[in-house]
Structure 1
Amino acid sequence: MNDWTPRLNSTTALARLPLTPEEGFVLSRLDGATPVRHLTALTGLPPERIQAILTRLVEHGAVLPAPTSASAPTPSATTPRSAAPPQQEESSEEEGEPLLVDGEETLTPEEDAPEEDASAEAAAGNWRQLFERRLHPLPEDERASLARSAEEPELSAFCFDPVPAVIKSVLENMRVGLGHARLIARHHHNPVGLEALCGRAAFASDVGVRRWLVRNPQLPSGLYRRLWSGRRLLEQYKVAMDRDVPEGTRRTAREVMRTRFNTAPAEERVELIINTEGRVLASLVGLGVDGKTAALLCGRTYRSPMLIQNIARWSAAPPVLIAHLLKQEAVRRQPQLRMLLQRHPNAPADARRG
């Protein structure tokens, strides 16, 4: 049972179900990727309580029943797309494997971030309403005191408090979990409170917390640098290109990526160039590569016109790589690619004459 991953029933009008606040809280944490064994950390509720709530949610029709050992579940027309084998969100630091198209690696899709379903949005709206109507009128020091020992739904409501001192009290609450951390990362707009949140390593490393942090317009650039400067280049690139991320954070992400590109292992540089089909090279103007990186790039067969074209426009492309590309079958078949490579300043002299 602990290995079961609860999934919402897309045929049920979740907003109309007669759920208790606690049931609604647990329901809002079901993203189709988190197994039962991790819901305790995500909600702060004990395992036996989680099991009882999930049983009631299944009875309400809000959650699909757990598959039995006798019959494995099969996809149906009513199964939501997110019910397909999801990328595990938990705290894995590794990215998914690159996709292969005609033997050529291409950009790994963005992590399938669990979308905020109607029930999650409704729950967040209820908590915000609770905070604004009942909690916000209280003095700040009283709110901070109450937040240290609050239970649901008040604990989730306190995550909407704009005062950093109250957020620090929420983080001191023994019932606080990843769900509360994600609420704070998304809805708290004070740099001091975000710094306090990231002072907890378990929260700072959570994929969901990081996703909302980079979308938070008040994320300090210094905090971003501390959290992301050691991460893989491909992850930094995704932040830099994400249109849901504020421009200030995207700019910081590009700066961090450029700095790390100078010191990253050759394999990581190649991964970035290949998996983005060379799109990243426009952000790496003025940066070159070492001999090992060039050798790894020359050890590949190139079939993607987009990748070849982007490398041909990269002023720092090593001469050996230009020569290698000119030998590729894809270049021989497409005169425009060959012409781009021949015009490159690092193209071999005999290639220019040809």
Structure 2
Amino acid sequence: MSDWTPKLNPAVDLRRLPLNAEEGFVLSRLDGHTREKDLPALTGFPPDKLRDILTRLVSQGALLPGTEAVGPVNTVRPEAAPAPSTEPRAPSLDASDTEPLPEAEATDSADDEAGPVDDVPETVQGDYRKLFETRLHALPEDQRVALAHGAEDPELSALCFDPVPAVIKAVLENSRVGLAHARLIARHHRNPVGLEALVARAAFAADTGVRRFLVRNPQLPAALFRRLWAMRRLMEHHKLTVDRDVPEQTRRTARELLRQRFSTGPSEEKAELILNTEGRALGALVGMPVDGKTTSLLCGRTYRSPMLVQNIARWSAAPPALIAHLLKQELVRRQPQLRMMLARHPNAPADAKRT
């Protein structure tokens, strides 16, 4: 085989191509760096068969011809390629004229960890599911377990749709299993025992795609979620609490963890959470006070967002120093309704209440 490095065509939407399971699997293994001659070891396909698959993918427009030079492509789905980071900005210690990010920008999706959501096109996943339902599901459980231990794709990916935990455990013990299979299991398996087995593999538990699909899985146990997310950043907890794709029971646990982490987390994260959500996160933090360092960080800002000021004015635990700082802001001076809200706060300075 040649030294050609297959690379995805960024101008083509792979979801619209009539890909079969083998073609989709090969696409899921391409990273824009691996040469053609190294792909047999990565995919398990013999060189001749792999060459035929690559030729078909080029003819369909999924891959760029070997003569074109392009930048590295890391995912099968172009729209999921790495984008500029949306990681919330930490607030500075000095006064800044920069306003907090709008929440639409500050909150990405359930797992902040920006990255590819999936590396197998939906059409290919449908092929895997169909293969399982039509050919594999009818086999006795012990036969599916035995098959899972030594299966290759597309059967290995199809077995990721098996509802029986024993089969999922066998899939995870297969030497050919990879992140694409782990993401299929996290997304489609509906038994807590199988999900526990998946998370037991540290490399899989740390993967962005696996974590993102796990928090959307309605069968994710609360204890397992706590174990995975207990020490995540406050912004990441908040994102889960407002993500409508996350089941309500997981969102409820996320709200509990958010309050626990807010009481013990770093001051920088607390200020970041309040500023970058324009105070919307405070609705889940009723009665939760902040420490002196957090207050100092919040007071080191110039405020230009009416929404942020209103949400802080409704926060019963807002520290007196912050209320006093807000009353001095030009924004508040120009808008009597904001000044009135702050003046009515129980922690407002006495002279503000008299005016």
State the TM-score, normalized to the length of structure 1: 0.83
1:1-354 mapped onto 2 (5 Å cutoff): 6-10=8-12, 14-16=16-18, 19=19, 21-27=21-27, 35-36=32-33, 45=43, 57-64=57-64, 82=79, 86-87=83-84, 96-98=87-89, 103-106=98-101, 107=103, 108-110=106-108, 114=116, 120-354=121-355
Q: Percent identity?
A: 61
Do the aligned partners of 2:90 and 2:272 also contact (CA within 8 Å) in 1? no
Do the aligned partners of 1:9 and 1:64 also contact (CA within 8 Å) in 2? no
1:189 to partner: Cα distance: 0.0
Change in Cα spacing, 1:217 to 1:36, as seen in structure 2 (3 Å) is farther
Change in Cα spacing, 1:3 to 1:201, as seen in structure 2 (3 Å) is farther
Do the aligned partners of 2:303 and 2:326 also contact (CA within 8 Å) in 1? yes
Change in Cα spacing, 1:191 to 1:36, as seen in structure 2 (3 Å) is farther
1:36 to partner: Cα distance: 4.0
Change in Cα spacing, 1:66 to 1:306, as seen in structure 2 (3 Å) is farther
- Give the Cα–Cα distance (whole angstroms) in 1 for the partners of residues 265 and 90 of structure 2: 22
- Give the Cα–Cα distance (whole angstroms) in 2 for the partners of residues 267 and 199 of structure 1: 32
Structure 1 stretches lacking a partner, 5+ long: 74-79, 89-94
Encode CA deviations 1:71-90: one digit per residue, 9 max, x unaligned.
Answer: 889xxxxxx983886257xx
Matching residue's letter, 1:86 = A
Matching residue's letter, 1:27 = L
1:4 to partner: Cα distance: 8.9
- Give the Cα–Cα distance (whole angstroms) in 2 for the partners of residues 203 and 298 of structure 1: 41
Matching residue's letter, 1:6 = L
Runs of 4+ off more than 6 Å: 1-5, 46-49, 99-102
Aligned residue pairs, count: 332
Matching residue's letter, 2:79 = S
Change in Cα spacing, 1:35 to 1:308, as seen in structure 2 (3 Å) is farther
Query: Using CA pairs below 8 Å that are at least 6 residues apart, which structure has the higher relative contact order?
Result: 2
Structure 2 stretches lacking a partner, 5+ long: none
1:98 to partner: Cα distance: 3.7
Encode CA deviations 1:266-296: one digit per residue, 9 max, x unaligned.
Answer: 0011111111111000000121101111111
- Give the Cα–Cα distance (whole angstroms) in 2 for the partners of residues 247 and 13 of structure 1: 30
1:15 to partner: Cα distance: 3.4
Do the aligned partners of 1:281 and 1:310 also contact (CA within 8 Å) in 2? yes
State the TM-score, normalized to the length of structure 2: 0.82
Which SS does the other structure have where 2:100 is aligned? strand
- Give the Cα–Cα distance (whole angstroms) in 2 for the partners of residues 60 and 279 of structure 1: 47
- Give the Cα–Cα distance (whole angstroms) in 2 for the partners of residues 3 and 335 of structure 1: 64
1:45 to partner: Cα distance: 2.9
1:335 to partner: Cα distance: 1.1
Matching residue's letter, 1:172 = E
Matching residue's letter, 2:43 = L
Specify the alignment match of 1:76 in structure 2. Answer: none
Which SS does the other structure have where 2:121 is aligned? helix
1:198 to partner: Cα distance: 0.3
